[in-house]
Structure 1
Amino acid sequence: MFVSLPRRHRPSLRWACPLLFGLLWLAFFWYSTRAPAAQQALLQAWGALDGGPGTRLDLQAVLRLFTALFLHAGWAHLLGNLVFLLIFGLPAEKVLGPWRFLLLFLIGGAIANLAAVLVLAGPRSIIIGASGAISALIGAYLALFPNARLGVVLPLGLFLEFVRAPASLLIGIWALLQVVFAYIGPAFGMVAWAAHVAGFLFGGVFALLVRRAVERRLRRQKSY
């Protein structure tokens, strides 16, 4: 007589968020160690550019919408994005899966950069940073789990304390940090608010489109 034993669930490996974390670090390290002239050339080659009236959205311009995600103006700009990439990215990848997560980050970030390019009117403005992509992650996670509480590690005196905070509170902190980043470091004198709004809205729409797939994924995880 054969008995069918229940299969044990093997937790899916979350590799997409750590991969993006590492790539953002490496890109900034590579950028920051180059000479100022080389840095400017890199911004011109990788940054999303607003060429003013009559600018065409050719293949090179489209690629820059993606490569701009991996450039940051300074340490504060980078660290702020990395912290919230981990806070929202790890739980988002858990429910979305790595490939949907990557799609959300890259497409959401590119659309956010495109919105900034279209809205900013300055001559040859350069849009860089992953803030629009992070906004897409936040928008998607909030749409899927509006009442979620996320775990964060806080330094309390000499110790680190793990606490669970409402997602809405963390989003408020994220928005406040974006205001701070506008006034510290070489942030080009502005924050591309259009990118944040467009990324957040894209994330919400993306979550609605994949909600059923996410529900099926969560049911499979619980059935093991």
Structure 2
Amino acid sequence: MFVSVPRRQKPTVRWASPLLAVLLSAAFLWVWMRPAAESHALLLRWGTLPSDVFAAFALGPRAIADAALHLLTALFLHADWAHLLGNLIFLLIFGLPAERLIGSRRLLVLFLMGGAVANYFAALTLGPSSRPLVGASGAVAAMMGAYLALFPNARLGVVVPLGAFMQFIRAPAYLLIGAWAILQVVFAYIGPAFGEIAWVAHAAGLIFGVLFALAQRDAIGKRLRRRAGY
């Protein structure tokens, strides 16, 4: 039912996850190094506005294309540094091992499509709001869903603070996803982004990732066997 990871694999260059991390960081700096009013204007200009998504189909093809573009550009904008850092950490924890197994181009497609779908469903549930949706949380959730669907028993390496030292440990993928979900709860109900977390984006991204993985399972299995020389 699930994809098995072969023991012998040829080395491969992983470029998609580092590229996405650099683009997310660069976009954050591009926005937040500007005056507050200008930064806010950029979030409104390039974020996903639910009101625009609602109005797009009534306004014609050009409005639809513009709304679709903003479903993607919103992925590279973040509300604050904590929002960015949380997404970067889990992007790299799941993105690098997933990219090694499913391929860089497939991971990039998963990130962009999963994030766009997540933003779309979040916009639909928020109604004709003029507050922008920003952040890569839905895209990261899609990567998590795909990884969990394909490799449910995988253990991922993470560095955690233990007292005064940093310790490298291997933890089950589902445990890390649970930790990510808890962090989202903390940020929503305790942190500065109280009440602003688009939960539907997380859920839609996770479900999209699972469906994407199931649809690509055979192709990914063939890729792994080909790389291992089977």
Residue 158 of structure 1: how far off its partner (Å): 3.2
State the secondary structure of the residue aligned to 2:49.
strand
Aligned to 1:164: 170
Residue of structure 2 equivalent to 1:40: 40
Give a deviation string over 1:38-63, Cα, whole Å, max 9, x none: 11210111100011795115111110
Aligned residues: 216
Q: Which runs of 4+ in 1 moved over 4 A?
A: none
**Relative to total residues, which structure has the larger helix share, 1 or 2?**
2
Give the drift of 1:121. 2.7
Residues 53, 67 of structure 2: 8 Å contact kept: no
Which residue pairs with 2:89 in the alignment?
A: 83
Q: Distance in 1 between matches of 2:53 and 2:92?
A: 38
Amino acid at match of 2:154: A
In structure 1, what residue type is equivalent to 2:88? L
Amino acid at match of 1:46: W
Alpha-carbon distance in structure 1 between the residues aligned to 2:146 and 2:82: 24
Q: Please report the TM-score for the alignment, with normalisation by the length of structure 2.
A: 0.89
Which residue is equivalent to 2:133? Answer: 127
Q: How does 1:1-224 map to 2 (within 5 A)?
A: 10-51=10-51, 55-57=55-57, 58-121=64-127, 123-182=129-188, 183-185=190-192, 187=193, 189-223=195-229
**1:92-128 superposed Cα distances (whole Å, 9 cap, x missing partner):** 1111100000000000000000011000136312110
Tell me what 1:4 maps to.
Answer: none
Give the match's secondary structure for 2:191: coil
Counterpart of 2:4 in structure 1 is: none
Q: Percent identity?
A: 58
Distance in 1 between residues matched to 2:108 and 2:52, nearest whole Å: 31
Which amino acid in structure 2 is aligned with residue 178 of structure 1? Q
Helix, strand or coil: the match of 1:48? Answer: coil
Q: What's the Cα RMSD here?
A: 1.8
Query: What letter matches 1:98 in structure 2?
Result: S
- Asked which structure has the greater CA Rg, the reply is 1
What is the TM-score normalised by the length of structure 1? Answer: 0.91
2:168 alignment partner, SS class: strand
- In structure 2, the CA distance between the partners of 1:91 and 1:54, relative to structure 1 (3 Å rule), is closer
Once the two structures are TM-superposed, the CA of residue 184 in structure 1 deviates from its matched residue by: 2.0
Distance 1:195 1:172 in 2: 16
CA offset at residue 135 of structure 1?
A: 0.4
* Cα drift, residue 169 of structure 1: 0.9
Tell me the CA shift for residue 68 of structure 1: 0.2
Unaligned runs of 5+ in 2: 1-7, 58-63
Range that drifts further, 101-110 or 162-171: 162-171
The alpha carbon displacement at 1:157 in A equals 2.8
Instruction: Quickly say closer, same or farther: Cα 1:219–1:106, change in 2 above 3 A.
Output: same
